[in-house]
Structure 1
Amino acid sequence: MLGIWHAFIETPRLKLKLQFKVAKKAAYALDMAMEPFPLPVRFDRVEAEGGTLRATGSAYWKPDEETSVELRFEGDAFEGSLRLPSFGVFALACIRGRGPTLYASLADEIAAYRKTDAPPPRSEAEIGEAVEALLGKLSLADKVGQMCQCMASNFSFGGAVASDPPEKLVAEGRAGSVLGAFDLGRVFELQRIAVERSPHGIPLLFNNDIIHGAQTIFPVPLAWACSWDMDAIREACAVSAREAAASGIVYNHGPMVDISRDPRWGRVVEGAGEDPYLGALIAKAQVEGFQGGTDGQGSLRDLDTIVACLKHFVGYGAAEGGRDYNTVDMSEATLRNVYLPPFQAGIEAGAGAVMNAFNIYQGVPVAASVPLLKELLRDELGFEGVLISDYGAVDEIVQHGHARDAKEAAKKAVDATMDIEMVTRAYDHIPRLTAEGKLSQSQIDNAVRRILTLKYRLGLMDDPYRYIRPEREAEMHFSESHLAASRALASKSIVLLKNDGALPLGGASGAGGRLEGAGDAVSLPSTASRDCGPGGRGKLALIGPFADSKDLLGPWQFSRFGHETVTLYEGLVAAGYGEDRLLYAQGSGVGTPIDGGIEAAVAQAEQADVVLLALGEDSGMSGEAASRMRIALPDAQLRLAEAVAATGKPVVLVLTNGRPLDLTWFDRHANAIVETWFLGSQAGHAIADVLTGACNPSGRLTMSFPLHEGQVPVYYNHFRTGRPLTEANAGEKFISKYLDGPNEPLYPFGYGLGYARFEYGELRLDRETLTPGGKLEARVTVTNADGPSGVETVQLYIQDVCGSIVRPVKELKGFAQVALAPGESREIVFAIGESDLAFWSPAAGYAAEPGEFRVMVGPNSRDVRTASFELLEA
């Protein structure tokens, strides 16, 4: 009965496809997925008797109502019954394997609607002419309809919205785009209504949040940022676009490119961390992946691409207290030097859309901010694409206290050049506002012109059904090549935070621990003298709520293949650990204790040579609306960790989470700490690759981990203050420091270990002065001094020592990833020019100022070699 099984059932309203996965450790486990809804059903009580499996659990949409199933297996089929909340009781007849897609039978029907001989791509001039011709035929009501978006169903990404059904809105031409059509059948149904029944037959845009994968799920963006690998990130986004586009999704509500320095904010999981330079490179790679394939040379008309929408413009990551949707208050210099660069990079890469931030800036909600959206985004940055509100953001102009009612909110949003209102209906007031002379016809025309231009560029106006491809879905979704790409990026995203020699399993030949100084030959003793590798004789105890959990995908994913997520237990079995050497105990829930759980965990730990302690946050603890005041692990897991550590056995902490956590206790008590984040569909395989040494970890942090949550926000590129803490004055009182702890984080930006030890030589500059328009070179030799082959990320930081406005103590300005064999050395050369020294100031705008600069190179933002040069005046 082990393996994947599928069945189809009919309800009065729709057809459903069910997939079951049956697995076994000491006991049986059952997981179920359902199409077309990517909503999981979890069975937590499973019993097997002969060829019969019975299970009870809960469904995502009604967790308080019991779901139950009885399955009777015989050969490659089984019969049974299933009780689903809200649906009823169904007889089941299942067959082994994934089976055909739910909409495979629609392929012939849909093919008849698609153009067999699609017209050639239109030039921009031809698109412009077509848009103007169509615009001239539209009434004001027709135009407003293009500016409105509706949900595909009553599923909500936020608060409930009072609105007509989507079928009615689309047929009447009152919606130009649709959010949340999770299945190809719904896309086809609504597109056909738009084309056949709306006043002018204008096709719909179908929007979804494709944040880190469509059906094949990749590491969450905070994780993949830690790879520092732009090619791999670009490929992840290209794969995501291929899978989404095959299902008719053409407009992505991503990437999120907000800079954030506060791990309390749940949405750090969606971004690239705290650094604007790295964030800008990753924003560019993501736009290229979604819109242009892996080489960045594609176009939106390509059937395997989707529109990239940069969000959230701008400053959302600075929400006070790390509380979602909260107030933002910052200077223009901070806005431009820290939070704006990723958006600039994404716009330069050709992003077709931008979404506003929820927060206020200078006392005005961004959705209504003419200075930010019109003057900065459009006029200064030259953005000509579609600007869409975030969910409910136009209505929330009223909640902020900046508009008296929805009508005034609509006026303010249109004045700010907001083209599309997401889901809410404030834009229904536009005709009256226009009649009253409060909005001009040209404002409406400009918005609709941008929307129609995008539809023409996507090819929808020439072939409305071109993206609806069941045959492509079957080929792309969860394909072997896509799973391989997910696994490879997942391995690169893992960050080894501590290692005293406990890893890789079986003993490390190189050093672990933390580098105390760049280039120092630090070597810590190995504690792993027993052979616990896959071919060895030692035993592993795998303990914790994430030891055999499939909750490894993270927030903001809607995969129908979640039941096939590879758990850590499954990954280790696949790596060669038999059940006789792999002891297991859950120990506790994520947030609650289990009766007898700690005792069972300790009993397993005492029999083992090494303990893998799999702890973390569940997917609901990070992401939107998931801010946390306390960023430690839940108490139930801390109690479990304390009991396991007390056995005296070597402990490797394996973390699943979506934000930096307070790990100070674990840094003192664990032998190794492996930050795995939410790694996606192949998580268990990727983690096992690193633990066993099949893959040498190379991830580097893109957010600092605090020593204590009282330090938050703590980030590397801070200012000095007028009374900076130094080694010389550390004993004094009246300086910028804490009474009860250091200023520095536990693990700084850029930090990460591997199984090799890299040594850095002296930093050398080829000249002491730099003339405007010139270049200088910084050189350092890096050597793999001990251990296996590995990848080192050599990082370049620069400090502007004295400026017209105060400058950070250091800023990342470059990096190089170099693969070195044991004993191999390589010289790394960084070219530094005037553009690397530029920043924004109120007096001069963007410019580099003459004066002294310090160059720093090292393996992270803390452990660096330093040299200086001077930028001369022009």
Structure 2
Amino acid sequence: IKECVVHGIAADDYDAGCQALKAGLDMDMGTSIYKNHLAEAVSRHDLDLTVLDTAVRRVLTVKAWLGLFDNPYVPEELIAQNDSLADSHVALTLEAALKSIVLLKNQNQVLPLAKKTRISLVGSLAGSKDEIIGAWAMSYQNKDCVSILDGLQQAGSDVSWYPCGGPEGELNEDEINQAGQNGDVIVAVVGELVSMSGEAASRANIELPGRQRELLQKLTAFGKPVIGILMNGRPLALSWEAEHLDALIEAWQLGIRMGSAVAQVLFGDFNPQGRLSASFPAVVGQCPVYYNHMKTGRPSSKSKFTSRYIDAPTEALYPFGYGLSYTAFAYSDLTVKESADRLTIRITVKNTGERRGVETAQFYLQDVTGSLVRPVKELKGYAQITLDPSEEQSITFDLLKANMGFYDNNGVYRLEDGEFTIHAGPNSRETLQATCWIKF
């Protein structure tokens, strides 16, 4: 409610309270505007008492539905239950964390690591039980949290932790030198603090905050494999990291079992299968960058205009839907068959690697010409399959013609005859294509 004053909708708290209640906002969360001003507003006839009565009646009705008048207090046994987590909930947390991890780079198959590998674990974030939780997570206890350091230790690995530095503060040169000299492999956990992302936490520069890139530069100078583990709540600009690190894992802020999930991925107990839900820019100046942008008025060419910028690429560093695996997949034989109400899209996916893995095949649509400019592609569906080495499978996806339209500027849904391009592949960039002419 108070934001009405900040944004200029209301003159002051008194005015904001009157406007909000009249608009149907029955409760005031986070301020005391109703408490401080509604009685006065009624007495001054700026607010009709019936409006206040209606709001109170609705609030009391909900409380009655919830049984709060019959049982207004939380039983002590339920309070005690909150001190321990259900095993099924913890298992689901771990599963969600595992499936959310995205492998961005794995040069020369440096991953997975052998358990006997001597690991120098670097970064203050690696030992944190708080930063793994993410923004707006209020009720957790450290005793339930597995940091990345905890996860590696519990996995039985030979790991030594060197905090060295983090998103804030200075670097510890002695710890950096010890990390570089003592380990066979350096695993550097870098990223953001919880307070650096989420509500009211925008950043103008979305490269690694603080001196973390400098830390990575010092670590790569030792000539040993450096694996980057990202702990962040937003896409980051990671061009230097993508070029110079041997492997890069997007691990986000995955909750209480983050450390266990990261350890399972590092040691190959779980083959990563996550996909990016947003494009990662090559440089900050690209933003906003997203896969379903409109066709540009300055298309790239092989002459002067090679991009929208003279000093940055057009495409994202890592596109929407991107994610690697410890195995490899090949796509072939894309076909599109039209029937009365749908397009039946078929593509073959083969596991060309040496490990069993999960692949997420993605299907995109491009409306080549429309009465309004259309995106270069739009995600229309996906299929997730599990394949053994050398196994291949044909995937079928039905795209209903009713879902091939768009809303015009008047809010009218339009299905327009014309040429359409079907894209199918492992992400929004690397796709096979087929073109068809559709008459609705």
Q: Which residue of 2 aligns with 1:130?
A: none
Q: Distance in 2 between matches of 1:600 and 1:710?
A: 34
1:458 corresponds to which of 49, 66, 71: 66
Question: C-alpha deviations, 1:222-245, integer Å up to 9, x for none?
Answer: xxxxxxxxxxxxxxxxxxxxxxxx
Question: C-alpha deviations, 1:271-296, integer Å up to 9, x for none?
Answer: xxxxxxxxxxxxxxxxxxxxxxxxxx
Q: Distance in 2 between matches of 1:501 and 1:450?
A: 63
Q: Which residue of 1 aligns with 2:367?
A: 800
Is 1:786 aligned to 2:382, yes or no?
no
2:165 corresponds to which of 572, 575, 588: 588
Q: How far has the Cα of 1:627 moved from its partner?
A: 1.5
Question: C-alpha deviations, 1:548-601, integer Å up to 9, x for none?
Answer: 222311221223412442122221121121xxx32331112431124xx23332
* Map 1:521-536 → 2, pairs under 5 A: 533-534=114-115, 536=116
Is 1:545 aligned to 2:120, yes or no?
no
* Map 1:419-430 → 2, pairs under 5 A: 419-427=26-34, 429-430=37-38
Question: What is the identity, as a one-letter code, of the residue corresponding to 2:207?
Answer: A
Q: Distance in 2 between matches of 1:567 and 1:704?
A: 27
Instruction: Tell whether the 8 Å contact from 1:411 to 1:430 is kept in structure 2 after alignment.
Output: yes
* Map 1:117-128 → 2, pairs under 5 A: none
Q: How far has the Cα of 1:437 moved from its partner?
A: 6.8
Q: Distance in 1 between matches of 2:328 and 2:416?
A: 38
Q: Distance in 1 between matches of 2:45 and 2:398?
A: 56
Alpha carbons of structure 1 residues 796 and 434: separation in structure 2 relative to 1, 3 Å:
farther
Q: Distance in 1 between matches of 2:190 and 2:277?
A: 21
Alpha carbons of structure 1 residues 666 and 471: separation in structure 2 relative to 1, 3 Å:
same
Is 1:498 aligned to 2:105, yes or no?
yes
Q: Distance in 2 between matches of 1:584 and 1:400?
A: 48
Alpha carbons of structure 1 residues 444 and 832: separation in structure 2 relative to 1, 3 Å:
farther
Q: Which residue of 2 aligns with 1:481?
A: 88
Alpha carbons of structure 1 residues 697 and 718: separation in structure 2 relative to 1, 3 Å:
same
Question: What is the identity, as a one-letter code, of the residue corresponding to 2:147?
Answer: T
Instruction: State the number of aligned residues.
Output: 437
Instruction: Tell whether the 8 Å contact from 2:307 to 2:313 is kept in structure 1 after alignment.
Output: no
Instruction: Tell whether the 8 Å contact from 1:783 to 1:824 is kept in structure 2 after alignment.
Output: yes
Alpha carbons of structure 1 residues 422 and 742: separation in structure 2 relative to 1, 3 Å:
same
Instruction: Tell whether the 8 Å contact from 1:598 to 1:643 is kept in structure 2 after alignment.
Output: no
Q: How far has the Cα of 1:690 moved from its partner?
A: 0.3
* Map 1:243-254 → 2, pairs under 5 A: none
Question: C-alpha deviations, 1:504-556, integer Å up to 9, x for none?
Answer: 334xxxxxxxxxxxxxxxxxxxxxxxxxx11x3x4221122223222311221
Q: Distance in 2 between matches of 1:849 and 1:432?
A: 58
Instruction: Tell whether the 8 Å contact from 1:411 to 1:433 is kept in structure 2 after alignment.
Output: yes
Question: C-alpha deviations, 1:665-691, integer Å up to 9, x for none?
Answer: 111110100111111111111100000
Instruction: Tell whether the 8 Å contact from 1:839 to 1:846 is kept in structure 2 after alignment.
Output: yes
Is 1:731 aligned to 2:303, yes or no?
yes
Q: Which residue of 1 aligns with 2:418?
A: 851
Q: Distance in 2 between matches of 1:857 and 1:446?
A: 54
Alpha carbons of structure 1 residues 399 and 548: separation in structure 2 relative to 1, 3 Å:
closer
Alpha carbons of structure 1 residues 820 and 470: separation in structure 2 relative to 1, 3 Å:
farther
Q: How far has the Cα of 1:844 moved from its partner?
A: 5.0
Question: C-alpha deviations, 1:815-868, integer Å up to 9, x for none?
Answer: 111111222222211111133223222235234333322221111111111123
Q: Which residue of 1 aligns with 2:292?
A: 717
Is 1:751 aligned to 2:358, yes or no?
no
Alpha carbons of structure 1 residues 450 and 806: separation in structure 2 relative to 1, 3 Å:
farther
SS of the residue aligned with 1:673? strand
Q: Distance in 2 between matches of 1:435 and 1:572?
A: 65
Question: C-alpha deviations, 1:475-516, integer Å up to 9, x for none?
Answer: 45323322222111111111101011344334xxxxxxxxxx
Structure 1 vs Structure 2 CA RMSD: 2.4
Greater displacement, 421-430 / 495-504: 421-430
Q: Which residue of 2 aligns with 1:472?
A: 78
Q: Which residue of 1 aligns with 2:138?
A: 558
SS of the residue aligned with 2:94? helix
Q: How far has the Cα of 1:653 moved from its partner?
A: 0.5
Instruction: Tell whether the 8 Å contact from 1:696 to 1:754 is kept in structure 2 after alignment.
Output: yes
Question: What is the identity, as a one-letter code, of the residue corresponding to 2:88?
Answer: S
Alpha carbons of structure 1 residues 639 and 721: separation in structure 2 relative to 1, 3 Å:
closer
Alpha carbons of structure 1 residues 850 and 464: separation in structure 2 relative to 1, 3 Å:
farther
Q: Distance in 1 between matches of 2:345 and 2:58?
A: 46
Alpha carbons of structure 1 residues 454 and 822: separation in structure 2 relative to 1, 3 Å:
farther
SS of the residue aligned with 2:27? coil
Question: What is the identity, as a one-letter code, of the residue corresponding to 1:731?
Answer: S
Alpha carbons of structure 1 residues 501 and 445: separation in structure 2 relative to 1, 3 Å:
farther
Q: How far has the Cα of 1:440 moved from its partner?
A: 5.6
**What is the aligned-residue identity percentage?**
41
SS of the residue aligned with 1:678? coil
Q: How far has the Cα of 1:445 moved from its partner?
A: 5.6
Q: Distance in 2 between matches of 1:629 and 1:868?
A: 40
Q: Distance in 2 between matches of 1:483 and 1:634?
A: 31
Q: Which residue of 1 aligns with 2:209?
A: 634
Q: How far has the Cα of 1:724 moved from its partner?
A: 2.4
Q: Which residue of 1 aligns with 2:272?
A: 697
Instruction: Tell whether the 8 Å contact from 2:322 to 2:428 is kept in structure 1 after alignment.
Output: yes
* Map 1:565-576 → 2, pairs under 5 A: 565-576=145-156
SS of the residue aligned with 1:759? strand
Q: How far has the Cα of 1:700 moved from its partner?
A: 0.5
SS of the residue aligned with 1:600? helix
Question: C-alpha deviations, 1:117-143, integer Å up to 9, x for none?
Answer: xxxxxxxxxxxxxxxxxxxxxxxxxxx
Alpha carbons of structure 1 residues 750 and 586: separation in structure 2 relative to 1, 3 Å:
same
Instruction: Tell whether the 8 Å contact from 1:502 to 1:652 is kept in structure 2 after alignment.
Output: no
* Map 1:277-316 → 2, pairs under 5 A: none
Q: How far has the Cα of 1:660 moved from its partner?
A: 1.2
Instruction: Tell whether the 8 Å contact from 2:343 to 2:401 is kept in structure 1 after alignment.
Output: no
Q: Which runs of 5+ in 2 are unaligned?
A: none
Q: How far has the Cα of 1:643 moved from its partner?
A: 1.0
Q: Which residue of 2 aligns with 1:818?
A: 385
Q: How far has the Cα of 1:730 moved from its partner?
A: 3.8
Q: How far has the Cα of 1:740 moved from its partner?
A: 0.5
Q: Which residue of 1 aligns with 2:16?
A: 409
SS of the residue aligned with 2:374? coil
Question: What is the identity, as a one-letter code, of the residue corresponding to 2:190?
Answer: L
Question: What is the identity, as a one-letter code, of the residue corresponding to 2:331?
Answer: Y
Q: Which runs of 5+ in 1 are unaligned?
A: 1-393, 507-532
Q: How far has the Cα of 1:752 moved from its partner?
A: 0.6
- Greater RCO structure (CA 8 Å; 6+ sep): 2
Instruction: Tell whether the 8 Å contact from 2:97 to 2:258 is kept in structure 1 after alignment.
Output: yes
Instruction: Tell whether the 8 Å contact from 1:406 to 1:426 is kept in structure 2 after alignment.
Output: yes
Q: How far has the Cα of 1:705 moved from its partner?
A: 0.8
Instruction: Tell whether the 8 Å contact from 2:166 to 2:190 is kept in structure 1 after alignment.
Output: no
Q: Distance in 2 between matches of 1:688 and 1:819?
A: 22
Q: How far has the Cα of 1:426 moved from its partner?
A: 3.5
Question: C-alpha deviations, 1:237-261, integer Å up to 9, x for none?
Answer: xxxxxxxxxxxxxxxxxxxxxxxxx
Instruction: Tell whether the 8 Å contact from 2:111 to 2:247 is kept in structure 1 after alignment.
Output: no
Question: C-alpha deviations, 1:740-793, integer Å up to 9, x for none?
Answer: 0111110011111010101111221112xx65xx12211111111113111111
Q: TM-score, normalised by structure 2?
A: 0.91
Question: What is the identity, as a one-letter code, of the residue corresponding to 2:127?
Answer: D
